[in-house]
């Protein structure tokens, strides 16, 4: 992994890869797929273009013998976006649906492969989908909705928090921040992740109390109240909040041997690790120093403004006693030339070089251009050998994996008091916390640890004694226990050879006995679809009825044709009687989906297309296995005269029910509609009214009398999120109608 190359290749990449590798080695886990983007570009290492790469377990030589054919942990790279170009994460947003569909294709293929190997021929579906960072959270929400699999989310760093930090620095306006970082799109993805997740995994308590509380969809106090109501089995009135779980990141420790000795004495060897020549990276760093035997202050961070390296250099440059006692080593990623770096990173590096010149720190500060990932442990070992200190001065650190790595190598730490280091320090007690904005405080903490040998030794021992609490096996045990607490949501589809029939009591209300209900949904499904020169057709109401009646007549005549064909077939082979009886038999035979997108200028065109589709799939038409999406529901034609022409897909209801507020949400929406009144010219009439005749159990519909007086959709969405009500709010028909549907429902999700 090319860590430190840019802002997309930081500690999060290492975290996710190590988590996947560790999970793949855990008892009870058969396979872990880490889905990411495929990049075939000369700008990056060739391995990023490999479609699949196995992550071999680190600590189990015998593991390979025990594995099944497709078991283990894998990186699976999905092609999406520009094929031959590496683009930064801020520009990936338009390509997310393409990634989701590629990922879905892989998951379905893998479910069948695993089904043949270990599932007795039945597909084996994922037990959970875990999104890491906002763009993957957005993707995971769509995948979770398509597969009906529990979703987990880890933010790593959060958009609202980043926005606050950038505004505090005052260098950019809110609009400039949004243009540069696409921050509002990122924040909406994080809000959607809260809507769709069952569990949000954080590294620290601070992340919950100070970062997630900035979001509309999360409130620590409300979460505790809802949790208490659930424990007491009391109704939450449709409100839902994901469970926040603190699981510190893990680390591999088995290969680490803490450094003994110092620069004056030889390192103590043993039989397993005899004394060996110095690693090349040591001389690469030492060449910077006039006196390489002095204790080394080590910082390992990208040259990113939020990492606060310039304050560290100022603190070192302005504290003479510290400069006399110690050297400073800055490992700031990899670079060839400054001109080739991103403008932000280049700006930070130039500031550092100017400060070195200002304080005349030549011979006291090392800033090597290159290091390999496998050399990082050697850099920690060198700092420990000189009796040095590791520092993380970031303005805010979501977790601080480098602090754990440093502790494992026997290095005391100085770290920011903002974020994860607080929790790490509480467990390890191996250093000092500082205010990252206060350079005197940073210099004083470093001087204290470097000068007081007893304090240094105590911090080193404390870190080594408690470090096992941050191991990957510990992390994975807690992680898997949380996943086990999620209710399995994927429907257990019945097969046509199951023998038993659906009982008449399954869901009496699901059978559509009146074509009028279908006509309402038909009208709804076509809201705003009519094309006109201006893109908005306000004549929809006048022409809609005529179009609606033609459509419902077309569908009705088709459904009569199905019944006629059934009677014609008699008891012949064309109709499977085990299939044609019972209430929802058609669901057992679904094998294909036909997606037809129609852009028609006239009703006649549309009706002609529908007729051609029905003729083309004649066999499926006779069996009654063609489905339709009307509004937020899926319908199937039936060949049972008692059921009328259509039945609702009740499995789809169980699929989209996740997080649906039901009656509690409906009452809240009715109250909201009542509160939106037209107060212009003394007129107090209601602007939004409930459309009961258009509403269904999974779609609450409201008619808008004055579109100009209705709050923007994002305001209604925000209001519902604040109340922990999870749903999709859609303004349609040129702003004359509002539909509120489940968070996992939409036409695109129904197609998926």
Report the relative pairing of strands 627-630 and 633-637 from DSSP bridges.
antiparallel
Joined together, the tokens standing for residue 4 give 């430190």
Please spell the DSSP secondary structure of 369-432, one letter per residue: S---GGGHHHHHHHHHHTT-EEEE--S-BSS-HHHHHHHHTT--EEEESSBTHHHHHHHH--EE
Q: What is the pLDDT of residue 571?
A: 40
In a domain, 4, yes or no: no
Q: What is the pLDDT of residue 229?
A: 94
* φ and ψ of 589, to 5 deg: -110, 10
Q: Quick one: 707 and 643 in the same domain?
A: no
The Cα 732–Cα 729 span in angstroms is 10
Same domain, 382 and 452: yes
- In this prediction, residue 483 carries a pLDDT of 94
92 within domain boundaries: yes
Label the pairing between strands 700-704 and 688-690.
antiparallel
Instruction: For residue 461, tell me if it sits in a domain.
Output: yes
Q: Is residue 57 part of a domain?
A: yes
Residues 110 and 173 in one domain: yes
Do 178 and 45 share a structural domain? yes
Summarised one tens digit per residue, pLDDT across range 396-449 is 887 888 999 999 999 999 999 988 899 899 999 999 999 999 999 999 999 999
Q: Are residues 18 and 144 in the same domain?
A: yes
CATH number assigned to the domain comprising residue 298: 3.40.50.2000
* Same domain membership, residue 334 and residue 380: yes
Q: Edge-to-edge strands of the sheet including 327-331?
A: 365-366, 327-331, 296-300, 389-392, 413-416, 431-434
Domain count, the chain: 4
Helix-helix angle 401-408:11-24, to 10 degrees: 70
Whether 155 and 25 share a structural domain: yes
Are 237 and 211 part of one and the same domain?
yes
Q: Are residues 88 and 218 in the same domain?
A: yes
Name 327's bridge partners. 296
Task: Please indicate, yes or no, if residue 84 is contained in any of the structural domains.
Answer: yes
Rounded alpha-carbon distances, angstroms, from residue 79 to 95, 96, 104, 142: 10, 11, 12, 17
What is the pLDDT at residue 491? 55
Q: Determine, yes or no, domain membership for 44.
A: yes
Write out the residue range of the structural domain in which residue 745 sits.
661-751
CB 193 within 8 A of CB 140: yes
User: SS3 helix, strand, coil % of the chain, rounded to 5?
Assistant: 50, 15, 40
Using CA atoms, how far apart are residues 563 and 585, in angstroms rounded to an integer? 15
- Whether the CA torsion 197, 203, 208, 214 is positive or negative: it is negative
DSSP alpha helix (H) spans, 570-649: 577-580, 603-616, 618-623
- Whether 617 is covered by a domain: the verdict is yes
**Rounded CA gap, 352 and 341, in Å?**
15
Q: What is the pLDDT of residue 511?
A: 32
Looking at residue 381, what is its pLDDT? 94
608 and 729 part of one domain: no
Consecutive H or E run containing 460: helix 453-466
pLDDT at 419: 83
pLDDT computed for residue 274 by the predictor: 52
Q: Judge if 425 and 380 occupy the same domain.
A: yes
Looking at residue 509, its pLDDT comes to: 32
pLDDT at 577: 31
Measured between alpha carbons, how far is 385 from 381 in angstroms, rounded to an integer? 6
All residue ranges of the chain with pLDDT < 50 are 264-272, 493-544, 559, 562-563, 565-567, 569-588
pTM (2 d.p.): 0.72
């Amino acid at each position: 992994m090319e860590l430190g190359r840019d802002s997309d290749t930081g500690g999060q990449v290492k975290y996710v890869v190590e988590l996947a590798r560790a999970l793949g080695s855990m008892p009870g886990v058969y396979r872990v797929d880490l889905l990411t983007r495929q990049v075939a570009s000369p700008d990056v290492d060739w391995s990023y273009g490999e479609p699949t790469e196995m992550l071999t377990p680190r600590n189990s030589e015998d593991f390979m013998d025990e594995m099944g054919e497709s078991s283990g942990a894998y990186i699976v790279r999905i092609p999406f976006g520009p094929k031959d170009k590496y683009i930064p994460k801020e520009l990936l947003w338009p390509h997310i649906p393409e990634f989701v569909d590629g990922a879905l294709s892989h998951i379905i293929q893998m479910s069948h492969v695993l089904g043949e190997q270990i599932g007795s021929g039945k597909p084996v579906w994922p037990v959970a989908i875990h999104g890491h960072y906002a763009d993957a959270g957005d993707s995971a929400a769509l995948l979770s909705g398509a597969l009906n699999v529990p979703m987990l989310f880890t933010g790593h760093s959060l958009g609202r928090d980043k926005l606050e930090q950038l505004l505090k620095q005052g260098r950019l306006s809110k609009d400039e921040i949004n243009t540069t970082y696409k921050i509002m799109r990122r924040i909406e993805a994080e809000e959607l992740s809260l809507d769709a997740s069952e569990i949000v995994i954080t590294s620290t308590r601070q992340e919950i109390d100070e970062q997630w509380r900035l979001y509309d969809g999360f409130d620590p106090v409300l979460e505790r109240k809802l949790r208490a109501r659930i424990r007491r089995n009391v109704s939450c009135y449709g409100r839902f909040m994901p469970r926040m779980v603190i699981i510190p990141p893990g680390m591999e420790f088995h290969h680490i041997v803490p450094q003994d000795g110092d620069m004056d004495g030889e390192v103590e060897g043993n039989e397993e690790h005899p004394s060996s020549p110095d690693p090349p990276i040591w001389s690469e760093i030492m060449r910077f120093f006039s006196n390489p035997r002095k204790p080394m202050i080590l910082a390992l961070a990208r040259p990113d403004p939020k990492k606060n390296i310039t304050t560290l250099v100022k603190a070192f440059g302005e504290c003479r006693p510290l400069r006399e006692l110690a050297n400073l080593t800055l490992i700031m990623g990899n670079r060839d030339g400054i001109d080739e770096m991103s403008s932000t990173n280049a700006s930070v590096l130039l500031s550092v070089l100017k400060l070195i010149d200002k304080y005349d720190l030549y011979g006291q500060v090392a800033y090597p251009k290159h290091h390999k990932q496998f050399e990082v442990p050697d850099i920690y070992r060198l700092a420990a050998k000189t009796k040095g200190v590791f520092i993380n001065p970031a303005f805010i650190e979501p977790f601080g994996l480098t602090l754990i790595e440093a502790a494992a190598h026997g290095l005391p730490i100085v770290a920011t008091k903002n974020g994860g280091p607080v929790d790490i320090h509480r467990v390890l007690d191996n250093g000092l916390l500082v205010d990252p904005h206060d350079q005197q405080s940073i210099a004083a903490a470093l001087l204290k640890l470097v000068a007081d040998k007893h304090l240094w030794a105590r911090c080193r021992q404390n870190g080594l004694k408690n470090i096992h609490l941050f191991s990957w096996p510990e992390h994975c045990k807690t992680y898997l226990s949380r996943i086990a607490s999620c209710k399995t949501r994927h429907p257990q589809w019945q097969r046509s050879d199951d023998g038993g029939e659906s009982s008449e009591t399954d869901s009496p209300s699901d059978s559509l006995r009146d074509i009028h209900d279908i006509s309402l949904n038909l009208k709804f499904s076509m809201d705003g679809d009519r094309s006109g020169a201006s893109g908005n057709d306000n004549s929809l109401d006048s022409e809609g009825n005529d179009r609606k009646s033609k459509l419902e007549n077309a569908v009705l005549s088709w459904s009569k044709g199905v019944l006629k064909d059934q009677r014609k077939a008699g008891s012949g082979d064309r109709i499977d009687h085990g299939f044609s009886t019972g209430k929802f038999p058609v669901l057992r035979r679904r094998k294909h989906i036909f997606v037809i997108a129609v852009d028609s200028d006239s009703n006649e065109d549309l009706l002609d297309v529908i007729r051609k589709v029905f003729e083309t799939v004649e066999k499926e038409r006779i069996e009654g296995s063609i489905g339709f999406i009307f509004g937020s529901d899926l319908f199937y034609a039936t060949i049972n005269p008692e059921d009328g022409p259509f039945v609702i897909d009740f499995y789809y209801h169980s699929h989209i029910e996740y997080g649906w507020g039901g009656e509690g949400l409906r009452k809240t929406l009715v109250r909201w509609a009542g509160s939106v009144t037209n107060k212009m010219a003394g007129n107090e009439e209601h602007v939004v009214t409930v459309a009961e005749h258009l509403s269904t159990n999974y779609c609450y519909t409201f008619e808008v009398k004055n579109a100009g007086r209705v709050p923007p959709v994002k305001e209604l969405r925000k209001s519902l999120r604040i109340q922990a009500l999870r749903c999709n709010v859609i303004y349609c028909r040129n702003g004359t109608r509002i539909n509120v549907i489940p968070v996992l429902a939409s036409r695109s999700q129904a197609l998926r």
